Amino acid sequence: MTAIMEAAPPVTSAQPRQSWAAVVALAGFEGRRLLLRVPVLLALAVYAFWIVWHTRDSFDGFPALQDADRSTQGAPLLVALAVMVCVNQSVLRSRRRDTERHFAVLVLQPGRRTAAHVLSVLPATAVVAACVAVQFTWEALKPGAIGTGSPGELLVGPLSVLLFGAIGVLVARLAPSAVAVPLMVVFFLFLFVFGASPALSDDWTRWLYPVVGESSANILPSDLLGRPAAWHALYLAGLALSVALLAVLIGGARKGVAGTALAGALALTVVGGVGQAAGLSDETAAARVRASVTPEKEQTCVERGRSTYCAFPEWTPRVATWAGVVDHVQSLSGGTAKGQQLLVRQRIEARYGLDSDAAVFPLSTPHQVTVGTAWGGNRVPEFSVGVASVLIAGNEKAVGEMCDGRMVTVMWTALAWESDPVAALRRVRLDDSVTGSATVLAPTESLSMTAGQTEVVRQLLEQPRDAVAAKVKARWAELTDPKVTTGRAAQLLGVAVPKGADKCDG
Amino acid sequence: MTPTVSASGLCLRYGGTRALDDVSLRLTQGVTGLLGPNGAGKTTLLRVLATAVPADQGAFTVLGQDPGTARGRQEVRRRLGYLPQTPGFHPDFTAFEFVDYVAILKELTDRGARHREVRRVLDEVDLSDVRGKRIKKLSGGMRQRVALAAALVGDPGFLVLDEPTVGLDPEQRMRFRELIARAGEGRTVLLSTHQTEDVAMLCHRVVVMAAGAVRFDGTPAELTARAAGRVWSSTERDPGAKAGWRTGLGAFRNVGDPPPGADLLEPTLEDGYLLTLDGAGTEVAV
Amino acid sequence: MRRLSGVPAVWRALTPPVCRTVPWRALAAGGALGLLLAGMPRMVDGLNDDFYALNLLRAAALAFALSLAFLLDDPARHTTAAVPTPRPARQALRVALVAPVAALWWTAALLLVPAEVRPPTGDITLEAAATLVLTLAASATALRFAQEAEPGTAVAAGLLLTAALTMVLVPDRWAMFVYMKDEGWAASHDRWAMVLAMAVLVWGVCGPEPLRRRVRPVPSGA
């Protein structure tokens, strides 16, 4: 406390400009203290730890930056709440320690001291902004990164810290009780954990929360997201400013200046609020329909080897990785499939935006394979299954009806090239099993494997790849005949014939 | 006279600092002053003797009871009044209510007798007029007197006062001295202070502490006598003096080892105190 | 001066002033927020399921615990450092004054949650009791080891931090906040019971004023 008094001396000459210099000096002093408070330090440590732990393998190493920007928003709330509690205690400190009477005679009037407390939140905000920048840059530097982030989304984290810091100061001026802010934290914790969920709010009210999450994991091109990120950032900035100015005003600042500024900040908040509540623009809605129904008009196509790859512009850097998978699968295939020209097209269901995870329907166009917007992790073997099944069944639609011995060849060619094929088999199956019947995921329609097929495929995947490849290529025509049974396929490939094969569910 | 308090070998450490370093002490009826620089361990000694914190080592008895046992401490506290350095209050209580609350905590359960006693001590500290006022509305000096009333309530045989005159104006201090002198009649009072005049005027004994240890224990006259022949007047500041300052009359008053033929002055208690501290002034944080 | 000895007389005389030192306003604020949270399932349609009800009750208990963090704050601590009525007795009196209020409040909170979505009463009450007792134990510990007269603010901040970090950091194996339909529910309540027992133990150890520090000065007679 003595140090606060020491921070004040520059104001003795009482000229307005110098008095603002004193506000800045006091803000710097309080800001440093705030950063060194145990709750803030701990929250920052947990936040930094989370960034490292999360970003190491987030998005399976293939982030779409229009999603990665959103993933920087939630964690700063922990810091924001810690800042709110601590800044509140800082404001109440002089009252609690009964130094209010000493301060009352200082040249630095309560309004300015309140302003200094509000400004003292800035260093913590800057630290969080730096953390957000580090996290996003890390994502952007990953070799598999595509797309573009939005500054509006990136600003949400730091702005939340600012907003909650200002709330902490305001509450200290409104209700000078140490219990008020901790209680608010409980309320806010609850709102954050459950509040922005659809249960509590519909389309526009959820944008009143600082952090607005999405229930879907759907990845869309950045221009189809339809999130009013910039408006929301404006709304948050306006709100933080309004709360801060209200605190300064209640703290005893001159009504005129602060009042005018408050009116301006409120106007900013309202503009942001109205802007974000406007809903989806007609252009975006139309663009979503175009991207879903006639993606060929929006995409750029690239030839790689025998095949053509069509993708939304943001995804063209991924073509090489897709082509790698197609090459692997074709190198294990025989007959015409080996040299088959494929059209790999990226398809999305964007009409429902990020509200739902709508599936993409399978195509009946021959030799056309669908690829999604996500990549990495399980999406790789799933795409591989999609490629192998189209190579063998002819088109995606036919794959869904497939219930015979061809399944063995599809799964083996799709997975045998992986470094750990049995693990890949486990990953493409919905229930993560390697025995019994199961559903197999693919970019469009899922496939189903019977217990017998699973057993045969697993045996084949456990054998040396080149030996099996030779047999597969030699017997390709018979293995890919729609009439082949699983038993027959097992026989042809020289593995034990399972009992009671080929009984597809449904 | 049997000592009210007798302590031997009291030691207490805070981290690596010796706040009390083998303190032995015997207090008898009357006011004993405790002098020492900041951080000398005065407050720590008072807190130990008031049973607010236990010592690490050493033992002491108060009024024949051993505060090292639960029962003994209880007995000691029944006959103890303690004014801490920074007294705290329930700010919404009136002065009367607060002293009454402390009186109940001192097991004065008979309502009528207790209220009479509370009124008596409030009278004694000259707060009768404001006894119905909430403590948060009282001035600093008044609050200090409320705390003193809380220490006096229940007629304790042993009174521990930690810098009671801090923040009081000269008139209030005068009244406080009166009060403490009266309290010392028939009681044992241990008074910690920075004011050597308080000690000179009030105390029959004085203890000087520095760096957690007792440096002097005797009468004020003995402490003053330590400076006999070591205070002199000169026209210039004497470089050989431990301390020297120009008095209002223009001449320098020097304390230390005087040069031959110096113009010796009558020493005060403060001179004796300064010379006692000389060389023992290492500060100890408490 | 005549003293009437006997504990009951002191307690009877002490009850009215101690009652005034209880932070009723903080308790009212915490209690009101708690009841508001517990009443949400009835008020908001989307929250009327057992998952929200469970977590709202937890939030309610936390809100009340936060206000309870201020219960043992005693601005007059130093002035009353050397009175014969021991500190644990004074603290016990405060707790005794608040306990029936807390019990009533919790019953009301439970009743506010519709019966069909209400979590198992015994288990959730155990969680709440452990939270409240842990708060009091933390306050008692703070008073025992620090010279601070009003550690409530720090205790409240610590409690919040503990709650947030328990939610974020504790691995699933040791999870405290489990959904009642998950298999870990019973095991988590063994842990809650342990927390309660530990808190009571800590409170018991830290409540009394110490007679001596590290080194024993004199042979014990107590």
Confidence at residue C215, expressed as pLDDT on a 0 to 100 scale: 46
Name which of C17, C83, C220 is nearest B106 (Cβ-Cβ): C83
Domain shared by A442 and A323, yes or no: yes
Domain shared by A336 and A402, yes or no: yes
Cα C57 to Cα C19, C32, C116, C169, distances in angstroms: 28, 13, 14, 21
Q: Which two tokens stand for residue B28?
A: 């008898």
Q: Residue B146: closest CA among chain C residues belongs to which residue?
A: C79
Stretches in chain A below the pLDDT threshold 70: 1-18, 95-108, 193-203, 500-506
C interface mutation test: which of B104, B117, B161 has the most C CBs within 10 A? B104
Note whether B256 and B241 are within 8 A (CB): yes
What pTM does this model have? 0.80
What is the CA angle A315-A321-A326, rounded to 5? Answer: 115
C84/B74 Cβ within 8 A = yes
C8 in reach of chain B (CB within 8 A): no
Residues in chain C with CB shorter than 8 Å from the CB of B148 are none
Residue B282 has pLDDT above 50, yes or no: no
Which residues 110-139 on chain B approach chain C with CB closer than 8 angstroms?
110-111, 113-114, 117
A287 occurs within a structural domain: no
B56/C214 Cβ within 8 A = yes
- The interface pTM score, or ipTM, of the predicted complex is 0.86
Q: Using CA of residue C182, residue C183, residue C188, residue C190, what is the dihedral sign?
A: positive
What's the pLDDT tens digit per position in C63-78?
999 999 999 999 999 9
Taking one residue from B and the other from C, the number of pairs with CB-CB distance under 8 angstroms is 135
Cα–chain-centroid distance for residue A351?
A: 19
Domain count for chain A = 2
Confidence at residue A176, expressed as pLDDT on a 0 to 100 scale: 83
Residue C126 has pLDDT above 80, yes or no: yes
What's the pLDDT tens digit per position in A232-246?
999 999 999 999 999
C14 in reach of chain B (CB within 8 A): yes
Domain shared by A185 and A329, yes or no: no
Residue from A240, A42, A294, A38 nearest A125 by CA: A240
Confidence at residue A99, expressed as pLDDT on a 0 to 100 scale: 58
Plot region of A147 (φ>0 → left; ψ -120 to 50 → alpha; else → beta): left
B interface mutation test: which of C2, C10, C25, C80 has the most B CBs within 10 A? C80
Confidence at residue C2, expressed as pLDDT on a 0 to 100 scale: 43
Residues in chain B with CB shorter than 8 Å from the CB of C222 are 69-72
A199/C164 Cβ within 8 A = no
What's the pLDDT tens digit per position in A426-484?
988 888 888 888 888 888 888 888 888 888 898 888 888 888 888 888 888 888 888 88
A204 occurs within a structural domain: no
Confidence at residue A340, expressed as pLDDT on a 0 to 100 scale: 86
B160 in reach of chain C (CB within 8 A): yes
* Better-predicted residue by pLDDT, C128 or A441: C128
Q: How far is C171 from chain B (nearest CA, A)?
A: 36
What's the pLDDT tens digit per position in B87-134?
899 999 999 999 999 999 999 989 999 999 999 999 988 899 999 999
Note whether B65 and B75 are within 8 A (CB): yes
Name which of C3, C76, C83 is nearest B89 (Cβ-Cβ): C76
A78/C164 Cβ within 8 A = yes
B88/C213 Cβ within 8 A = no
B113/C2 Cβ within 8 A = yes
Domains in chain B: boundaries:
229-266
Chains that touch C (3 or more CB pairs under 8 A): A, B
Q: Rounded distance, CA B194 to CA B166, Å?
A: 9
Q: Using CA of residue A62, residue A68, residue A74, residue A76, what is the dihedral sign?
A: positive
C78 in reach of chain B (CB within 8 A): yes
Q: How far is B86 from chain C (nearest CA, A)?
A: 7
For A497-504, the CB contacts below 8 A with 24+ separation are A498/A451, A498/A452, A498/A455, A498/A456, A499/A452, A500/A451, A500/A452, A501/A450, A501/A452, A501/A453, A501/A456, A502/A403, A502/A404, A502/A405, A502/A450, A502/A452, A502/A453, A503/A450, A504/A403, A504/A448, A504/A450
**Which residues span the domain enclosing A337?**
294-493
**Range with lowest mean pLDDT among A378-392, B62-76, B206-220, B234-248:** B234-248
Residues in chain A with CB shorter than 8 Å from the CB of C179 are none
Name which of C14, C20, C149 is nearest B104 (Cβ-Cβ): C14
Confidence at residue B44, expressed as pLDDT on a 0 to 100 scale: 92
B64 in reach of chain C (CB within 8 A): no
Confidence at residue B70, expressed as pLDDT on a 0 to 100 scale: 87
Domain shared by A345 and A451, yes or no: yes
C67/A178 Cβ within 8 A = no
Confidence at residue A105, expressed as pLDDT on a 0 to 100 scale: 53
Residue C174 has pLDDT above 90, yes or no: no
Domain shared by A453 and A377, yes or no: yes
Name which of A42, A89, A197 is nearest C153 (Cβ-Cβ): A89
Q: What backbone torsions phi and psi does residue C137 show, to the nearest 5 degrees? A: -65, -40
Q: How far is C70 from chain B (nearest CA, A)?
A: 14
The DSSP secondary structure of A126-181, one letter per residue, reads HHHHHHHHHHHHHHHHSTT-BS---HHHHHHHHHHHHHHHHHHHHHHHHS--TTHH
Residue B199 has pLDDT above 80, yes or no: yes
Q: Residue C31: closest CA among chain A residues belongs to which residue?
A: A183
Confidence at residue A202, expressed as pLDDT on a 0 to 100 scale: 61
Residue B86 has pLDDT above 90, yes or no: no
Section C18-41 average pLDDT? 92
**Range with lowest mean pLDDT among A239-243, B228-232, C5-9:** C5-9
Q: Rounded distance, CA A287 to CA A66, Å?
A: 17
Confidence at residue B101, expressed as pLDDT on a 0 to 100 scale: 95
| Torsion of Cα atoms, C185 then C189 then C190 then C194, to 10° | 150
Section C71-95 average pLDDT? 91
A293 in reach of chain C (CB within 8 A): no
B78/C84 Cβ within 8 A = yes
Taking one residue from A and the other from C, the number of pairs with CB-CB distance under 8 angstroms is 87
What's the pLDDT tens digit per position in A313-367?
999 899 999 999 999 999 888 888 888 888 999 988 888 777 777 778 888 888 8
Confidence of residue C217 (pLDDT cuts 50, 70, 90): very low
Confidence at residue C203, expressed as pLDDT on a 0 to 100 scale: 92
Confidence of residue C148 (pLDDT cuts 50, 70, 90): confident
C87 in reach of chain B (CB within 8 A): no
Q: Residue C166: closest CA among chain A residues belongs to which residue?
A: A46
Domain shared by A255 and A112, yes or no: yes
C171 in reach of chain B (CB within 8 A): no
C222/B77 Cβ within 8 A = no
Reduced to 3 states, what is the DSSP secondary structure of residue C70? coil
Domain shared by A445 and A475, yes or no: yes
Note whether A502 and A486 are within 8 A (CB): yes
Looking at mean pLDDT, say which of A377-381, A442-446, B206-210, B236-240 comes out highest.
Answer: B206-210
Domain shared by A249 and A303, yes or no: no
